Amino acid sequence: MCAALIVVLAAIGLVHAGTPATGPGYVIDGPGGVFLAVIGVVGLISALISPAYLHDHRRARTGALRSRQLYYAGLYLFWAALVAVPVVNNLGIAWLVVEATTAASALMVAFAGTRNALEAGWKYLVLTSVGLTVALMGIVMLYASGPHGAATLSALDWSTLAHQAPHLDQSTTLAAFCVILAGLATKVGWAPVHNWLPDAHSEAPPPVSALLSAALLPTVALVAWRLDEALRAALDARAVQAIFIGFGLLSLGVAIPFLWKSLAWKRFLAYSSLEHMGVIAFGIGIDNRWATAGVLIHVAGHAIAKALGFSMAIPLLRYQPAASQRAPRGIARLSRPLSVGMGVSLFALGAVPPSPLFFSEALILFGGFVAGQVVVTSIAAVLLAMGFIGVAHMAIEAFAGAPFERRLPGSRTAVWISGLATACTVGLLAVASIAYVLPYSTLAAALTGGAG
Amino acid sequence: MTTGLIWVIVALGLGCVLMRRRSVVVALVGVQSLCVAALAIALVPSRPSEFLPAALTLVLRAVVIVVLLVIAIRRTRHALPGGEETVPFSRLVVAGAIIAALVALIPAFGLESRLAERGAVALIATGLALLVTRRATVMQVVALLVAENGIAVAAVNVSGGLPVAVELGVAFDLVLVVTVAVVFHDRIFDMFGTTDTRILRGLRD
């Protein structure tokens, strides 16, 4: 029901991509529609796979935070806060909602109650809270540098910021933008302020990891993207481009050595998130119709692939409990449905055609070359190719060879794995199919200010 | 009065960097939060509609957060980090370096006084310094509070004040985050027998 409502909102946003529906405090536009659809679908998958996780978790050993009611309260609060982020029409309120996601999700990260889960939850809470405090300082700087008068919330509306931008002092606005972006980067997980990300994603329950990786990270990136759009007239375009591209390349560069290592499945997916957030930052930095279309496809494709990947962690840990600490092995011999599910996720994340990530990365790189950013785009292309090697390594390690453990699953497990893998494959192909038309759509134009 | 209060607030932040005992540091940050509230209270007579809600919010926030931290400390009395924590002089040097760097980097951004701008930035920097030099869980929450007090100093000195909705929302979010942090503090103590975050080094690649 919740997911259906969110998807309806998303559809309204996509239909009105050129003429956003706005009202007091809210905006439903094309970009928001894409992110709402992502949050709706990923939240639905998380809710659907939660019973399987809780069934297994009941047999786990430690943890006082465990209870079914607490789990679902946390999950739905987290999901609700996420839904609000693309809809709010105000930078200040967006910050409040993003901060609220921290409080809701930190307890969820530590839900397992193990030492590692507590460590991951604490790091996540402290680092992202401090990051968001820095972002809030930037928002106060931006507010203070604007036209003075009575304190009104509407001064931080996206549309008001865009209207006032030509009259703002450029150096102060750039400083405020940098401070906000540095703060938001901790929540998006862009390197070098990504330290919480691998730990939180790998220790959280898989349904929460899916929401964190596939929905939270790109949704906070949307706030940064909207701010860039709103302040465009007051910012030095080259400086902003350099900041986003810098975050992108650094994130890619930091992720790749870890993708090459032999890691546990969820930890591998966590570093993959760092890589893909880097791709999104790079695409936002390029900022033309091709790169923008690529970013939107990347957000949607990454969300489906990552949600499927984290969902597969539940049956994987049933077959191979030791895979929580080391790379899985011999999955192809253990279970065909599980190997299909993990394979679809891996090959989609590795941008193997016809994965939507193949088209999105191609569009972003093409956009980079069209924008004249030959050197940085070439570096990004090389880094993406190196990232693919890491994915291929994981695929060989996970599927080939002899399994080191074997636990027989129930037939119901095989049914839901197959169903989810099929649905996600259809979703991935549907996202890939719009890659050809999206660069010329009003949606891409809306995010580039109509520029090519 | 405002100028003197800002200096006191910054000095209390540096006191948090120097002092070892958690109870003293919590007392310092509590007094600091009330001083920030006093900045808003001083503006109430001239502009009641703008600063009365802010002043009330800041007082309430300070009281609730200090109560939460006192409860946290009382439950974990013997959990002070050992002698390997950075020495006070080193902490002060780190804080001074971060303050100097940030004050030099951040340009004037339109507050009513340049001192308030520098004070706000100095408090953010002090919070960051506390985060990197202190290891007890409570100290890391204090780091967040000192930084938030820096933002409150800036917010009080914005011409016309910040929107009430933002003030209330920020206070609510901060109380929520501190509450969650206190839950973690308790769980970490129960599991590890200490609240020294140096013990949290199990997750490495």
Q: Is B15 in CB contact (< 8 Å) with chain A?
A: no
Average model confidence (pLDDT) across chain A: 90
Sign of CA dihedral A271, A276, A278, A279: positive
Q: Which residue from B127, B173, B201 is facing A99, i.e. has the nearest CB?
A: B173
Q: Are A405 and A319 in contact (CB under 8 A)?
A: yes
- Phi, psi torsion values for A23, nearest 5 degrees: -160, -170
Task: Please give the torsion angle defined by the CA atoms of residues A73, A79, A81 and A87, in that order, rounded to the nearest 10 degrees.
Answer: -150
What's the mean pLDDT in B146-157? Answer: 94
* Nearest-CA distance B147 → chain A (Å): 7
CB contact under 8 A, B159 and A140: no
Q: Domain range for residue B27?
A: 2-76+86-199
Q: Which of the residues A77, A78, A140 would you substitute to probe the B interface, choosing the one with the greatest number of B C-beta atoms within 10 Å? A: A140
For residue A154, tell me if it sits in a domain.
Answer: no
Residue A265 counted as domain residue = yes
Amino acid B44: pLDDT: 86
Average pLDDT over residues B169-191: 93
Q: Please name which of A193, A242, A251 lies closest in space to residue A383, comparing C-alpha atoms.
A: A251
In a domain, B30, yes or no: yes
Q: Is A181 inside any structural domain?
A: no
Give me A1's structure tokens: 């029901």
Residue A117 lies in a domain: no
Is B81 part of a structural domain of the chain?
no
**A267 contacts in chain B (CB < 8 Å):** 205
Q: Is position B103 within any domain?
A: yes
Count of structural domains, chain A: 1
Model pLDDT, residue B30: 96
Whether A234 maps to a domain, the answer reads no
Provide, rounded to the nearest whole percent, the portion of chain A with pLDDT above 70: 94
What ipTM was predicted for this assembly?
A: 0.95
pLDDT in tens, A18-63: 677 787 788 888 888 999 999 999 999 999 999 999 887 765 544 4
Give the C-alpha separation, B33 to B63, whole Å: 9
Dig out the tokens for A363 from the structure: 């569009």
Given pLDDT bands bounded at 50, 70 and 90, which one contains residue A442? confident
**Residue A452 confidence (pLDDT) above 60:** no
Task: Give the residue-averaged pLDDT of A281-299.
Answer: 95
Does A172 contact chain B (CB < 8 Å)?
yes
Let me know if residue A204 belongs to a domain.
no
Chain B contact present for A195, CB below 8 A: no
Range of the domain at A358: 246-452
Q: Is B137 exposed, middle or buried (0-12, 13-18, 19+ CB in 10 A)?
A: buried
Nearest to B111 among A113, A144, A150 (CB): A144
A430/chain B closest Cα distance in angstroms: 36
State residue B57's pLDDT score: 93
Among A residues 75-94, those touching chain B with beta carbons less than 8 Å apart: 92-93
pLDDT attached to residue A407? 64
A425 in any annotated domain: yes
Mean pLDDT of B146-163: 90
Asked whether residue B128 is domain-assigned, the answer is yes
Q: In terms of pLDDT, which residue wins out, B201 or A328?
A: A328
Three-state helix/strand/coil letters over A177-210 = HHHHHHHHHHHHCCCCCCCHHHHHHHHCCHHHHH
How high is the pLDDT of residue A436?
85
- Crossing angle for the helix pair B137-156 and B2-18, to the nearest 10 degrees: 170
- Which among A99, A119, A130 is the nearest to B200, CB-wise? A119
The average pLDDT across B136-144 equals: 95
* pLDDT tens column, A57-106: 765 544 445 578 889 999 999 999 999 999 999 999 999 999 999 988 99
Q: Does position A270 have pLDDT exceeding 90, yes or no? A: yes
| Type of residue at A394 | M
In B21-80, the residues whose Cβ lies within 8 Å of chain A are: 50
How close, in Å, is residue B74 to chain A by CA atoms?
20
Task: Decide if B85 touches A, using CB distance below 8 A.
Answer: no
- Residue A125 contacts residue A108 (beta carbons within 8 Å): no
Q: What is the DSSP string of B150-172?
A: HHHHHHHTSTT---HHHHHHHHH
A7 within a domain of the structure (yes/no): no
Domain presence at residue B204: no
Predicted pLDDT of residue A64: 46
Domain-embedded: residue B33: yes
Are the beta carbons of B154 and A141 separated by less than 8 Å? yes
* Mean pLDDT calculated for residue range A330-348: 91
A-B contacts (CB, under 8 Å): 148
Contact A55, A321 (CB under 8 A): no
**B162: chain A residues, CB-CB within 8 Å:** 140, 143, 151
Q: What is the pLDDT of residue B1?
A: 67
Q: What is the distance between the alpha carbons of residues A190 and A217, in angstroms, rounded to a whole number?
A: 9
Q: What is the pLDDT of residue B198?
A: 87
User: For residue B64, what are its two tokens?
Assistant: 């609730």
- What pLDDT digit, counting tens, does each position of A361-402 carry? 999 999 999 999 999 999 999 999 999 999 999 999 888 877
Rounded to whole angstroms, the Cα distance separating B142 from B151 reads: 14
Residues of B in contact with A145 (CB under 8 A): 109-110
> For B103-127, what is the mean pLDDT?
93
Q: With respect to residue B58, please indicate whether it lies within any of the assigned structural domains.
A: yes
pLDDT tens sequence across B28-87: 999 999 999 999 999 888 888 778 888 999 999 999 999 999 999 998 876 555 555 678
The confidence score (pLDDT) of residue B199 equals 85
B48 within some domain: yes
* Calpha distance B75→A350 (Å, rounded): 49
Residue type for position A37: A
